[in-house]
Chain A
Amino acid sequence: MYKQIFGKYTPKKENLIYILHEIQDQHPEHYISAEAIKIVAEYLSISESHIQGVLTFYTMFSTKPRGRNIIRLCESPPCFLKGSEDILRQLRQLLEVKIGETTADGIFTLELCACLGVCGNAPVMMINEDVYGDLTEAKVESIIASYRGGK
């Protein structure tokens, strides 16, 4: 995996964030492992602590294993006004997890995030790369079921 990713990026520090994005996307547990940090540090000739610093800074990165599907529910004011708290309550019940946790079957991790820029359709959540808007309880239920069933 690393070889293929490194093939796309010259060993410059400015490519760090891209490389991390790709490693995380390709990992089945969507995170950056200690091993990955070491290998990237070597490739870019930078310190592991620099990479640690970058990882903890950006919300899109995780240093802990996560579920197969990452749910990110927007909690910013426009979505809040449109009932994101109710959706959060429902998701926690449906998935039986707290914020930041992964379901027992490893299918979902529930996270909160700031505005996704789709506020015209608030409340909004993202699952992996896909945006779901105008959420209602019924909609959330069927979306979750579809991931449980197939993907």
Chain B
Amino acid sequence: MKFYRSHILIGIDDASLAAGVKEIEAILRSELQKNNLSEEINILETGTLGLFGTGVSLMVYPEQTAYVNLQKSDIAEIVEEHFLKGRPVHRLILDNTLVRKYDFNYKRRIVLNNSGVIDPENIDEYLGTGGYEAWEKALTSMQPEAVLQEVKASGLRGRGGAGFPAGLKWSFTAPIKAEQKYVVVNADEGEPGTFKDRLIMEGDPHKLLEGVMLCAYAIGASEGYIYIRGEYKLCISRLEKAIEQARDYGILGKNIFGSGFDLDIFIKIGAGAYVCGEETALIESMEGNRGTPRSKPPFPGVAGAWQMPTVVNNVETLANVPAIITNGAAWFAEHGVEGCTGTKVYTIMGDVRLPGLCEVDMGTTLRTIIQQYAGGMKEGKAFKAALVGGAAGVFLNDQRLDVKMDYNSLKEYAAVLGSGAILVMSHSADMVDMLWSVLRFFRHESCGKCIPCAKGTQLLYKLIDGIRKGKGKESDLDEMIRISNGMLKSSFCALGQSPCMPINSAITNFREDFLARIK
């Protein structure tokens, strides 16, 4: 391997592409060449660096200097000053106090440990970090049952919503005899405020593939499908490349590593419908139908894609599996809290200084996440509320800042943790407006299959719209709670069961905002 004096990491993701990263990268390369530095300084394209709202940014190692908001005209100066003369350009560096405050938490990361570090388009770099060791270990020295038991023992729970134990889910499908079984990855990621799965796929696509492989082996499936939303172009192209590379290396295909086990993985692309993230709707969509949910039972584990036994798991869930097989269940369970092991990836946005992502142990408090991993509140803004879990989430007030973020501590709000979205609001945000925006979302996304959800989402929007326009009554608040609780009991799928969470929490925790609009 060649030795470089410094490495410049360039985060290539949807956000930086939008900010013109490619042009800046080209200028950087030519400037390095001009100064005869190409042999000393390495440029590495990687996944997200974890900084958002900072335009084009670069990270320089080993110094760990983060340059942000770069313009084309800045590059020559950086090359000359920093790389030629060894003097970092302070005016372009991420505010030093922020850097100290900002904690990437790489030491504890499991799913994003490579993201922002390796080139996601090069399988050799993944292999260089110990990638596909778990896959080789499983195929050459473990029975499928042993893989399943390890995942079960780790306590890994689903990261897509409900937090169902992954090993238990697999154990329903594994013993079924069928001519075909499938692993389906849920990469539809439609929950507003959620983009953790995009970052995992963009930053380390091979890790997801390895997770799919291990799951397929454990349950005896010979095909895997990744159902991904159509807007995620970069994820799609990186996954396609990764699959190609894995096939070329014989990591996918027939008789892998001489084990007699066959597996291939395919990509399926969605067309924009939130409800398609529901696992049975997703399967309908994969088959080329309208994406409306099926009735359960039978569960997909028994009769899923093309009526064959199918395990559906979220991207983040599967991306945890390679580390579990490599390092063992006990190692995994050292992360997180009892009953809720491992780490969780969050996306934090809104009125914080450094919107972005973090991966931290389960059970970390909301306060720590905001203070330590998002740089705290924006200058001059005080915390008022956080919408945790996306539209199907809950509005928490400052009384809840010290609540531990794990499935058990948030049990009363069972489903909210999955998506990992944290939208932080300061006192300039009004909860009537925010709830209005949430209910407008549900009105639009209800698939219309069942009456309680189709009608209920319309009614709820009408009520909140009335309140927002100053035409509401105090009794409307009770009416909204009544309707959404009714939907919880009678809706066909979890979409219709969701609005009650934001509604109840907003009205209970921020009643004064609502009363202020009601005369």
Of B189, B291, B387, B433, which contacts A58 at CB under 8 A?
A: B291
Cβ–Cβ contact A117 & B195, under 8 A? yes
Cβ–Cβ contact A119 & B272, under 8 A? no
Chain B residues contacting A77 (CB-CB under 8 Å) are 192-193, 387, 391, 423, 434, 437-438, 441
A-binding residues in B (CB < 8 A): 14-15, 17-19, 52-53, 55, 189-195, 198, 229-233, 269-274, 285-292, 347, 349-350, 355-357, 387, 391, 421, 423, 425, 429, 433-434, 437-438, 440-441, 444-445, 447
Chain B residues contacting A131 (CB-CB under 8 Å) are 14-15, 17-18
Chain B residues contacting A116 (CB-CB under 8 Å) are 231
Of A59, A122, A130, A132, which contacts B272 at CB under 8 A?
A: A59
Of B17, B190, B269, B349, which contacts A21 at CB under 8 A?
A: B269
Beyond known contacts A77-B193, A78-B192, A113-B272: 16 more, CB 8 A cutoff: A13-B288, A59-B273, A61-B271, A76-B437, A77-B423, A78-B421, A81-B350, A81-B423, A81-B437, A114-B441, A115-B193, A117-B14, A117-B194, A119-B195, A120-B347, A131-B14
B232 nearest in chain A by CB position: A117
Cβ–Cβ contact B444 & A114, under 8 A? yes
- Nearest 3 CB-CB pairings of A with B: A120-B52, A76-B192, A58-B271
Residue A18 interfacial (CB < 8 Å): yes
Minimum distance in angstroms from B59 CB to a CB of chain A: 16
Chain B residues contacting A76 (CB-CB under 8 Å) are 192-193, 391, 437, 441
Chain B residues contacting A18 (CB-CB under 8 Å) are 269
Minimum distance in angstroms from A44 CB to a CB of chain B: 8
Give residues 76-131 of A contacting B (CB, 8 Å).
76-78, 80-82, 113-122, 126, 129-131
Minimum distance in angstroms from A115 CB to a CB of chain B: 4
Chain B residues contacting A59 (CB-CB under 8 Å) are 271-273
Chain B residues contacting A134 (CB-CB under 8 Å) are 19, 53, 55
Cβ–Cβ contact A17 & B355, under 8 A? no
Cβ–Cβ contact B440 & A75, under 8 A? yes
Chain B residues contacting A114 (CB-CB under 8 Å) are 190, 192, 272, 274, 441, 444-445
Cβ–Cβ contact B192 & A119, under 8 A? yes
Chain A residues contacting B286 (CB-CB under 8 Å) are 14
Chain A residues contacting B429 (CB-CB under 8 Å) are 81
Cβ–Cβ contact B198 & A117, under 8 A? yes
A12 nearest in chain B by CB position: B288
Chain A interface: which size bin? Answer: 35 or more
Cβ–Cβ contact B271 & A133, under 8 A? no
Minimum distance in angstroms from B56 CB to a CB of chain A: 12
Cβ–Cβ contact A119 & B273, under 8 A? no
Residue A5 interfacial (CB < 8 Å): no
Cβ–Cβ contact A118 & B14, under 8 A? yes
* A81 touching B289 in the complex, CB below 8 Å, given contacts A75-B440, A114-B441, A133-B15: no
Residue A15 interfacial (CB < 8 Å): yes
Cβ–Cβ contact B19 & A133, under 8 A? yes
A50 nearest in chain B by CB position: B289
Minimum distance in angstroms from B463 CB to a CB of chain A: 18
Cβ–Cβ contact A115 & B190, under 8 A? yes
Of A12, A50, A53, A78, which contacts B193 at CB under 8 A?
A: A78
Cβ–Cβ contact B287 & A14, under 8 A? yes
How far is A53 from B350 in the complex, measured between Cα atoms in Å?
A: 37
Cβ–Cβ contact A120 & B53, under 8 A? yes
Minimum distance in angstroms from A144 CB to a CB of chain B: 16
Minimum distance in angstroms from B459 CB to a CB of chain A: 20
* A17 touching B18 in the complex, CB below 8 Å, given contacts A78-B349, A117-B194, A120-B195: no
Cβ–Cβ contact A122 & B349, under 8 A? yes
Chain A residues contacting B423 (CB-CB under 8 Å) are 77-78, 81
Q: Select the residue from A18, A57, A82, A118 with max chain B CB neighbours within 10 A.
A: A57
Cβ–Cβ contact B356 & A120, under 8 A? yes
Residue A54 interfacial (CB < 8 Å): yes
B276 nearest in chain A by CB position: A58
